[in-house]
A and B are shown apart, each in its own frame.
Chain A
Amino acid sequence: MQNRTPIHIALLETSRIICEGIQAILYQSPELDARVHRVEDLEELGELLENQSTDILIASPVHFVNREKEINSIRKEFPTLSIAVIDYGVMRQSPLPHDATLSLYDTPDHIVQSLLKLVNKNRLFCKMHQDDNLTKREIEVLTGVVNGLLNKEIAEQLNISVHTVVRHRKNITTKTGIRSQSGLTIYAISKKIVNIEDIEI
């Protein structure tokens, strides 16, 4: 599968041999237009992610040891970043969530295919989230609206300010194109956010 848009890859690996090897494989592949950004540690990685929308992180699991909190917060902040860890064949499997494993003994083609798979999955995810998909919080607010609660009641229930509820409602309307309460109810049922049996007709 051809992938014409450049793919930005962060490479978190201190071994120069491995770094240059991976870069050579990526750059030589006709199938992907890779841009590799090498980083030394998690701090540098954070900086890169802030400034450059990055598709994939390839990392040596060494950097993850005892840094679970930071990795998790990176995942939360950049939900579209896929993480591939390098398997040296000597370390135990990384306990941290990752999306793919690259072995030092994989063929170049195998590595390229694994990365392409990640990118495609990612872009699909982005596409889905661009349209009307609501955040978890917005879904909670919407459920309140559908159940006929006032903004004040929703705010109390979720422990947020009325102002925030109003902001969420605005975003819900922008994303869905539906403004009225009864219209939002039908939307919520179509999207299976609420159960139709719970709604009185």
Chain B
Amino acid sequence: MYHSSKIRVKPSVKMADLIDANPRLLLMLQHFNIDFRVSDQTVQQLCEQYDISENLFVHIANLFNGFNTKGFQLNTQKELIQVVNFLKETHDYYRSDKYPQISSYIRHLQENHPEREIKMLEKFFNDYFVEVLDHLDYEDNIAFPYFLSLWENEAHDDTQERYSSNEYSDHHTDIELKLKDLKNLLLKYVKIDNDLDVRRKLFFSLYELEFDLYIHSLIEETILIPSGVSFEENRDAK
């Protein structure tokens, strides 16, 4: 459900118009720590005000709008830090907003429907949530510091635990696949009577989460990992 509103984001476009065409961009602003009251500012002005790399902002906004252009090479340490901060913000959004919300809907369903099937669904989600938290902690504590160290630590100490960008990419878990399982179980198989309000809210939450996870992994795979790999190659060639 990679929704695309086909407006290509350019520095000269007004941010408010972009949001009007694709409200999901609000989530992006939040991940960049930009306030929603964007006045009449263009993308360029907004980036200046918040001191955010314009190229990076345009690239990510285009991902949100459905343009998966070629990868994006991080050119400065500032850009790297901004990408990592963006991803960390998305982690907070999963941890403290999206997952608790989904969890509360499922608990609600479980309370209304005593069938063991729903109980198993809740357990499925809880186990999944634990896996997600593990993965987010891993990224926050191991992967992101590694990428940041690539820039800071030019004289890389080789005795240090060898870790590489590709390893990070292998570590990518099946978070998106389990989410698909959950969606399919609810859409096709598990019978729940009534409670349409809660179930609709649950579906919308799942779809929102799916969308954001998709963008999140696109950023990791098309920006962070290729940049890390090319940095490693340069370093090793020295």
Chain A residues in the interface with B (C-beta under 8 A): 132, 176-180, 182-183, 185-187, 189-191, 196, 199, 201
Q: Is B120 within 8 A of A178, CB to CB?
A: no
Q: Hey, what's the 0/1 contact readout for B76-91 against A, CB within 8 Å counting as 1?
A: 0000000000000000
List the count of A-B residue pairs having beta carbons below 8 Å apart: 56
Q: How far is the CB of A199 from chain B (nearest CB, A)?
A: 7
- By size class, the interface of chain B is 20 to 34
Partner of A180, one of B117, B174, B188: B174
* B182 to chain A: closest residue by CB: A183
* A178 to chain B: closest residue by CB: B181
Partner of B190, one of A132, A179, A180, A190: A190
What's the dominant secondary structure at chain B's contact region? Answer: helix
Q: Is A199 within 8 A of B120, CB to CB?
A: yes
Top 7 nearest A-B pairs (CB, nearest first) are A183-B181, A177-B184, A190-B189, A178-B181, A182-B124, A179-B177, A180-B181
Q: How far is the CB of A186 from chain B (nearest CB, A)?
A: 5
Partner of B120, one of A132, A177, A201: A201
* Cα(A199)–Cα(B180), bound, Å: 23
What chain B residues lie within 8 Å of A189 (beta carbons)? 116-117, 120
Q: Is A186 within 8 A of B189, CB to CB?
A: yes
Q: In this complex, which of B116, B127, B185 has the most chain A Cβ atoms within 10 angstroms of its Cβ?
A: B185
Q: Is A190 within 8 A of B181, CB to CB?
A: no
Q: Is B178 within 8 A of A180, CB to CB?
A: yes
* A185 to chain B: closest residue by CB: B120
* Cα(A180)–Cα(B180), bound, Å: 10
